[in-house]
């Protein structure tokens, strides 16, 4: 090999891990969320959002742990969402409330609930990689001019 020709050296670089800030993140106008389940893609995962009978927007991880169905294809019943595959009913807290073909609900039948806040006609979701609850001091302040 000619000493004048330089050999190329490659630096191995792995992709950076996905990291997301702890705190409230705006998902848009509250009025865009109805009782029809809506698919969301945030924080490196998929979620489902829907407005319950309590008129609050609830957000859960989108996949049913039973067989992996996408809950955004399900239907809202009261404040819960029913899975489109085998009709498991998931409460707004992520706990399974009903399995039509059995009376016994497994204790591990739980999916992640995302904390939400509606303020100034906007929907916010709380993200914390370590699973800590929302911090009251970081609550979005009400802006009265939004409502005038």
Which tokens belong to 14? Answer: 């792995």
Which tokens belong to 68? Answer: 């992996």
Asked if 52 contacts 80 with a C-beta cutoff of 8 angstroms, the reply is yes
Q: What is the pLDDT of residue 1?
A: 55
Cα(20)–Cα(70) distance, integer angstroms: 23
Q: What is the pLDDT of residue 3?
A: 60
Q: What are phi and psi of 39, to 5 degrees?
A: -80, 135
In angstroms, what CA-CA distances link 125 with 113, 117, 122?
A: 10, 6, 10
User: Up-side HSE of residue 146: CA atoms within 13 Å toward CB?
Assistant: 9
The tens place of each residue's pLDDT in the chain, 148 residues long, gives 566 666 777 777 888 778 899 999 999 999 999 999 999 999 999 999 999 999 999 999 999 999 999 999 999 999 999 999 999 999 999 999 999 999 999 999 999 999 999 999 999 999 999 999 998 999 999 999 999 9
Which tokens belong to 29? Answer: 């106008």
Q: What is the pLDDT of residue 2?
A: 61
Q: What is the pLDDT of residue 9?
A: 73
pTM of structure: 0.86
Question: Could you tell me which residues come within 8 angstroms of residue 26 by beta carbon, excluding any fewer than 6 positions away?
Answer: 122, 123, 124
Asked if 63 contacts 75 with a C-beta cutoff of 8 angstroms, the reply is no
């Amino acid at each position: 090999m000619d000493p004048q020709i330089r050999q190329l050296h490659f630096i191995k670089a792995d992709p950076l891990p996905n990291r997301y800030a702890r705190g409230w993140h705006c998902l848009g106008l509250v009025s865009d969320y109805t009782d029809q389940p809506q698919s969301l893609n945030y924080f490196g995962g998929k979620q489902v959002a829907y407005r319950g009978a309590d008129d609050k927007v609830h957000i859960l991880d989108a996949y049913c742990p039973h067989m992996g169905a996408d809950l955004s294809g399900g239907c809202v019943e009261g404040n819960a969402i029913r899975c489109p595959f085998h009709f498991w009913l998931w409460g707004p807290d992520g706990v399974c409330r009903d399995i039509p073909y059995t009376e016994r609900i497994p204790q591990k039948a739980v999916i992640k609930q995302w904390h939400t806040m509606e303020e100034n006609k906007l929907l916010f979701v709380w993200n914390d990689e370590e699973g800590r609850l929302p911090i009251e001091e970081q609550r979005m302040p009400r802006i009265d001019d939004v409502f005038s």
